[in-house]
Structure 1
């Protein structure tokens, strides 16, 4: 599974853009932090007999997917993944505490039946059928594995992690018995096949890349597609009468693109039933004051970071220069400025692969923490000498371009704090705000930046979710947008991926994280406070912790 990105604001991590926030550029004048204790999840849990039958749940999104095939490079976005959870199979759902389950609607069992070689056996629920009437079979798993192993570059896949380690997928005792044999051990095998697609989608490159660009053609979930209005930027899902699992309470779910600045008004006007506060203190305060809203907060697997462009020929191609720049950015000040009024814990993140809330999280940032004097000394040593207000070397000024999505105040605020901090060590920072719709496609994905800010939405699988971000493969960038890495890091990630012992794997993953820091790959800043404004009448929905892949659409509804 690739990582999801959110423009800051993910198979593992959702790409998301840096959204929300105040327009203040400083870190002074902080009020008391939010007093709410961080929870594993905060969803107003209700027994189903307390939830009304029927209703339309109105869900705001930043964008409709450019492709409804989440595994295609243009489809791997957070909003698309959230929608997929209603209409596609997620055999291995994540729980709020980052543990992973097995959905009995899709699989009656899932077991490792051999460790050398590693063989996984999946038994498909015989009731499971696609919307075209065809029963699920081992061939669906085989087709997806064959496409996502990365061997045929004509398939524009967003990630190959785990699938590239599969030797073969075979029929077991019958068509609903799947035998998966791994050529290399892959500990996070439950990160695979979520979502699962029908074999028809994976039939050939043209179908995989383009056939689902406008709409999903075959579904298999509690809901099905009722209408997609690309012009009105609205999608409606309705209850699928052929669904064989627990019946959902809602009749419909309506997704509508709403600009982030317009979210509070849309909520107040009844046009949406919740919204992500996106680390925005103004939105946070307004939600607290709204009589129809409750603010729900939990340990959210979502963090803001700086990605550096280390591609050959880029100004930051030099690892030592990247590390020096990192030491000139005060993540403590940024975290306090953004989070200080929303929660007590404003400690920056010290790990790229484990987030706070995970029992295996370690802060590995020690040697790279903010130290302006050290940053200046290292820049001097690298030959970047002060020349007026900025440093220069061989007649070239040390001036960097930070690309951010427009209409995302937190990105603007974070960028302005960084601009001030870097100026103090003699580094110039130009902030270029670009249209949100073009941010990933025309800038991040193609390396058109020196630095950029966005959010990674993480998941329960630190290798399955993040390997594609840090692994350097000249043939496939995956989500390593900064083109940074080396053989040592690749080997550490491979070792962690193949370790089946949980304790040893955690140690391996932390060893890989230390190498990510040493490479100046990217700079984690802060983990989101996971704050959502939710209508008070909504049950079984809010701030779900890790239980957003997928959301449990069968339980969401309005309280009686």
Structure 2
């Protein structure tokens, strides 16, 4: 059935709609722009990326001892909402902005784009040839999403041009209205779309606290919701007439990120002590209890438990060992002094920052406080507005520990390179722990340049062991995908590794 309005909740209202900006690389932004911007590649349920025919007819790679060239054959009908064809200029502008060569562009990642040597027009205006200075195995991760050249033409337009909305689009939907007061985003079917028409008339995204979503779903105010890790919410939505809970295993994983640039956690002994002092099994059991999923901790920063290539590289750091934590703190000069350890008259305390309206984050903070108190570390839980948690706390480094979930993709290395690559000056990209090493950088570079899957797995896991010893990001568990949807909603829900096609989303009856 065609027509209808999909009512889709968001956990926060983005301040930046440029997904490649450091403040725009969020799940809430991705959910919206996937319906309005070009994605040249889309992953299937097995995490294999394929060209999206509405934008890309084919993409072929030719490798040599000096690098590789990818030839993109674009759909001649593909065009921006301003009438300009999608093509060469857009590739050039995006590659330049995300290369990292001009630090005025506040980018979330330079992975892959930094390796681009040149971009040339091909045999026709619809052919673009991208040459890399080395082999880059995950080249399919690039240019998805693709922004119009004008959006990336200067650092100013890149950083601020997409803060108020989506001025140019090229998808089955277009922006109708963004209401900052009501915190809603309305997309409508775009009559200029050259592909199969979208089945829905419109999609209305509405920001609400995650704690309010089960009630809204039960009252038929929204059509789907990410249950997340709330067992109470799961029980409530499971009783809603006309609703169904879908389950899938995907690439997302829960973690605690430590600010290694902070005055306390800059000492690797203290970071390792905190890791030893946190019983991940306790956290996982509390978070996953009542969800009907196995409780299993995660031992990898690149692969999740169900993914090909996964190895548990945590070693001794994966085990709860408060005695060893105490010895490390002694070595670091933090001596037992009553309830909490002290050093030079200072109490050993850490700020655990959590977003408001997310009960699981607060519970994780309380469990962490109880666990770390056993080794003499005081944990102060700071609840902050959900809209501010990254822009005002995580990105500027205004925290000691922060819990959140990394949303994985079909590409295990490329997205995480921005998380673990050494920061350069104040440009942290997504490395919120603000630490790295030459060995980790080299390991990731070798992995993304390797085309043999077996060799890739070996290189990734070798690098992962280095990251574990760095003790900057503590993986907790693979985050289950539990999504409550209306029974008549099709082609959207718990998708696992599959990336949905927005034009195919619709209702079977209404």
Q: TM bucket by the smaller chain?
A: over 0.9
Aligned equivalent of 1:357, options 299, 306, 324: 306
- Residue 506 (str. 1) matches residue 457 (str. 2): yes
Residue 441 of structure 2 aligns with which residue?
490
- Of 479, 484, 491 in structure 2, the residue corresponding to residue 528 of structure 1 is 479
1:125 maps to 75
For 2:329 and 2:230, how far apart are their aligned partners in 1?
34
RMSD: 1.4
1:141 is matched with which residue: 91, 95, 101?
91
Task: For 2:490 and 2:87, locate their aligned partners in 1 and report how far apart those are by CA, in whole Å.
Answer: 35
Q: Are the counterparts in 2 of residues 351 and 361 from structure 1 also a CA contact under 8 Å?
A: yes
Shift of 1:305: 0.9
- The residue aligned with 2:270 is 321
- Equivalent position SS for 1:449: coil
Could you tell me which residue of structure 2 aligns to residue 296 of structure 1?
246
Whole-angstrom CA distance in 2 between matches of 1:437 and 1:107: 35
> Counterpart in 2 of 1:460?
410
Q: Could you say which residue in structure 2 is the equivalent of 1:63? A: 12
Q: Distance in 1 between matches of 2:159 and 2:331?
A: 48
Instruction: Tell me how far 1:420 sits from its aligned partner.
Output: 0.9
Identify the match of residue 493 of structure 2 among 542, 547, 554: 542
CA deviation vs aligned residue, 1:425-469 (integer Å, no higher than 9, x gap) = 221111111121221111111111111111111111122111111
**What's the offset of the Cα at 1:547?**
2.1
Q: Report the equivalent of 1:169.
A: 119
For residues 43-81 of structure 1, the C-alpha deviation after alignment (integer angstroms, 9 at most, x for no partner) is xxxxxxxxx111111111122321221112222211111
For the pair 1:553 / 2:480, whether they are aligned, the reply is: no
2:109 corresponding residue in structure 1:
159
In the alignment, is residue 254 of structure 1 matched against residue 204 of structure 2? Answer: yes
CA contact (8 A) 1:299 1:356 kept: no
Any conservation in 1 of the 2:273–2:328 contact (CA below 8 Å)?
A: yes
How far residue 342 of structure 1 moved from its aligned partner, in angstroms, is 0.6
Do structure 1's residue 110 and structure 2's residue 98 form an aligned pair?
no
Q: Does 1:338 align with 2:287?
A: yes
SS at match of 1:123: strand
- Is 2:129 the counterpart of 1:179? yes
What is the rounded CA distance, in whole Å, between the counterparts of 2:11 and 2:369 in structure 1? 27
- What does 1:371-382 align with in structure 2 at a 5 Å threshold? 371-382=321-332
Query: Residues 406 and 434 of structure 1 are in contact (CA less than 8 Å); yes or no, is this contact kept in structure 2?
Result: yes
Alpha-carbon offset, residue 171 of structure 1: 0.6
- Work out whether residues 411 and 453 of structure 1, in 8 Å CA contact, stay in contact via their aligned partners in 2: yes
Give deviations 1:201-255, integer Å, cap 9, x for gaps.
1111222221221111111111111222222211111111121122221111111
Q: What is the count of residue pairs matched by the alignment?
A: 506
Structure 1 residue 432 corresponds to structure 2 residue 382? yes
Are the equivalent residues in 2 in contact too, given 1:249–1:557 (CA < 8 A)? yes
The CA distance in 2 between the partners of 1:323 and 1:517, in whole Å, is 9
Segments of structure 2 that go 5 or more residues without pairing to the other structure are none
Aligned pair partner of 1:224 in 171, 174, 197: 174
State the Cα distance separating 1:338 from its structure 2 match. Answer: 1.2
1:422 has 2:372 as partner: yes
Which residue of 2 is the match for residue 101 of structure 1? 50
- Provide the rounded CA distance (Å) in 2 between the counterparts of 1:191 and 1:98: 12
For the residue of structure 1 that corresponds to 2:211, the secondary structure is: helix
**Structure 1 unaligned blocks of 5 or more:** 1-51
CA contact (8 A) 1:98 1:358 kept: no
Q: 1:378 to 1:154 in 2, by over 3 A?
A: closer
Q: Which residue of 2 aligns with 1:45?
A: none
Cα distance in 1 for partners of 2:493, 2:127 equals 36
Kept in 1: contact 2:217–2:237 (CA 8 A): no
Q: Retained in 2: the 8 A contact 1:137–1:175?
A: yes
Three-state SS of the structure 2 residue aligned to 1:104 is: coil
| Partner deviation per Cα, 1:478-522 (whole Å, 9 max, x = no partner) | 111111111111111111121122221121111111111000111
1:91–1:103: 8 Å Cα contact kept in structure 2?
Answer: yes
Is the deviation greater in 94-103 or in 185-194? 94-103
Please identify runs of 4+ aligned residues in structure 1 that moved more than 4 A.
none
Distance 2:417 2:283 in 1: 27
Q: Is the 8 A contact 2:35 2:171 kept in 1?
A: yes
Offset, 1:529: 1.7
Q: In the alignment, is residue 385 of structure 1 matched against residue 340 of structure 2? A: no
TM alignment of 1:240-251, pairs within 5 A: 240-251=190-201
